[in-house]
Amino acid sequence: MQLPPQVTYTEIERSGRAAEPPDCNIPVLRHDPLTAYRKVGLIEATGSVYATEEDVMPAVRRKACESGADAIVILTSKSQTTEGLVGYYIDAEAIVYDKKPPIPGGHARAH
């Protein structure tokens, strides 16, 4: 029997956003976005020795949704065996964009 992933969230600063439902469709980024953003929290998750990223990521996403973040930036995602941990490990940042990304296609003009 596989245990559910263990997740911790450490707030860096308030997101200023309302919490989203735990099943929100939050984007998962593999590198920093090209637009201005703020780091609002750190998320660490560990799964059992046989877990994969697909097993652990839903718990990371739930925690980010609850924080009101706009996206998650994955810093580390790997299976590891160390003195203190055996299993799958994800280290991520919860971020909010300074402004919502602009809508592609140009600027609206007032007449």
pLDDT band at 1 (very low <50, low <70, confident <90, very high): low
Does the structure show a pLDDT above 80 at 111?
Answer: no
Predicted pLDDT of residue 46:
93
Q: Tell me the per-residue pLDDT of 37-91, one tens digit each, with 9 for 90 and over.
A: 999 999 999 998 889 999 999 999 999 999 999 999 999 999 987 777 779 999 9
* 43, 61 contact by CB (below 8 A): no
Does the structure show a pLDDT above 90 at 11?
Answer: yes
pTM for the whole structure = 0.82
Q: Compute CA distances 46 → 82, 94, 111, whole Å.
A: 13, 17, 55
Q: How many CB atoms within 10 Å of residue 95?
A: 24
pLDDT band at 3 (very low <50, low <70, confident <90, very high): confident
Q: How far is CA 97 from the centre of its chain?
A: 13
